[in-house]
Amino acid sequence: MRQLVIIAACFASGILGAMMGSDLCAPTIDCPTKPHTLHAQYTANGVPITPYAANKESNPVIQAVRKVGPATVNIDTVVLRRTSIFGFADPFDDIFGTDPFTRLVPSKGQGSGLIIDGKNGYILTNEHVVHDVIGRNGDIKVSLPNKQTYPARIVGADPQYDIAVLKIDGRNLPEAKLASSNDLVIGETAIAIGNPFGFRNTVTVGVVSAVDRVLDTDKGRLDGLIQTDAAINPGNSGGPLCDINGNVIGINTAIISGAEGLGFALAASSIKPVVDELIKYGRVRHGWAGMTFWDISQRIARQLGLGTTDGALVAEVYTGGPADRVGIRPGDVILEANGVKITSVADIQDVLRKARAGDKLSLKIWRRGQSLVLNLTLADIPEALRRRGI
């Protein structure tokens, strides 16, 4: 049917062209009888790119893709889920798993990844690409552009940063290192490579639309993001975003549902330390202060004698934790952390999210009308609390 529509359209345009005495075929790319007359010219960082350049090898986008593309992989996941024979998921699968009216059905997922160490077979991707496999007997398969496929295992993953590192047993693999993303210029060329909707080795081109974006997701807050209008779709997650020189400046991560030209990538500079920790320890050693917080309402502010609702109220202090050891008490209000003004719980959580075990934290505290400064050393969260997701 599609062929019929195309043929009919060409036939109609031919009749219309004859009737009007005009050449409707000249500006199209599929006219075999006329030379192409489209003279529009585009530039990428000042380098001219013409649709029909005499020497395509000089096109910087092509050069960038050839540099990063071989290290961009497809990631397929399969997890067996227990599903009712009546066609809906079993909500008690993880509790019982023995319902005679259920069956195991494979659930498939797909995403992209980047080989960052070709010698050791380390692959960087998003945590949400492999999330369903974590803690389950699922399979991960990595496919390279040259059609080679490998089983993969998870080295480490962190949902807070939405980063995961996989490992495959391959030799002399192509690789692409994370570059610095600290000096990005809004408007510079951005190239996304990945496997959207299973269309492997797809390249889209746009610009860096903004930097330091913040997104609140169902898994938490992602900050320091690169915004781009290079097309990013489901399946692009975990793939590289690179500049015109083929430097990997980010990892494609999120889109705004229903919007166009609103894609986001984790900035390479911000995730480098995370990747190093995942490879070294198998997890990120987040800095743990040993306390929880509440936002301050106007009523609480009046009770505490505060003239503002700025700050984070200490709700609970874990016995023996870093906060307890320096004398922080429930009811204290955190006003500053390492010189950063704290206006809400989100602010202190941002500070802690970027910190690591062993880091020092200087806190300005309000306690019963007095201002105090207490210094604590963040610790690695105890295993029991980590398992509870605290």
For residue 95, give the amino acid letter. Answer: I
Q: Which two tokens stand for residue 289?
A: 């202060």
C-alpha 315/C-alpha 185 separation (Å) is 42
Residue 259, burial from CB neighbour count under 10 angstroms (0-12, 13-18, 19+): exposed
- Which of 255, 242, 277, 266 has the alpha carbon at shortest distance from 161? 266
Give whichever of 4-18, 35-49, 262-276 has the largest mean pLDDT: 262-276
Cβ(184)–Cβ(249) under 8 Å?
yes
The DSSP secondary-structure symbol of 369 reads T
Cβ pair 229, 241 in contact under 8 A:
no
Question: Is the pLDDT reported for residue 155 higher than 50?
Answer: yes
pTM: 0.74
CA distances from 157 to 219, 235, 281, 283, 390 (A): 14, 18, 10, 6, 16
Domains of the chain: 1-38 (no CATH), 189-273 (2.40.10.10), 287-387 (2.30.42.10)
84-142: pLDDT as tens digits: 665 555 555 555 555 566 677 788 899 999 999 999 999 999 999 999 898 777 899 99
Query: Position of tokens 């996941």?
Result: 77
Please check whether residue 142 is in contact with residue 118, taking contact to mean a CB–CB distance below 8 angstroms.
Answer: no
| Size of the chain in residues | 390
Q: Which of 15-19, 72-76, 308-312, 351-355 has the lowest mean pLDDT?
A: 15-19
Does the pLDDT at position 45 exceed 60?
A: no
- Can you tell me which residue has the tokens 């204290």? 332
Catalytic (active-site) positions = 128, 162, 237
Cα–Cα distance measured from residue 342 to residue 118, given in angstroms and rounded to the nearest whole number:
43
Q: Which two tokens stand for residue 138?
A: 């699922």
Q: To the nearest 10°, the Cα dihedral for 381, 383, 384, 387?
A: 90
Average pLDDT score, the chain: 83
pLDDT tens readout for residues 162-206: 999 999 998 889 999 999 999 999 999 999 999 999 898 899 999
Percent share of the chain, pLDDT over 90:
59
Which neighbouring-strand residues pair with 48?
A: 43
What's the confidence (pLDDT) of residue 1?
Answer: 38
pLDDT exceeds cutoff 90 at 264: yes
The one-character DSSP state at 188 is S
> To the nearest whole percent, how much of the chain has pLDDT over 70?
80
Residue 40, pLDDT score: 40
Partners of residue 362 on adjacent β-strands = 375
Residue 12: the pLDDT is 36
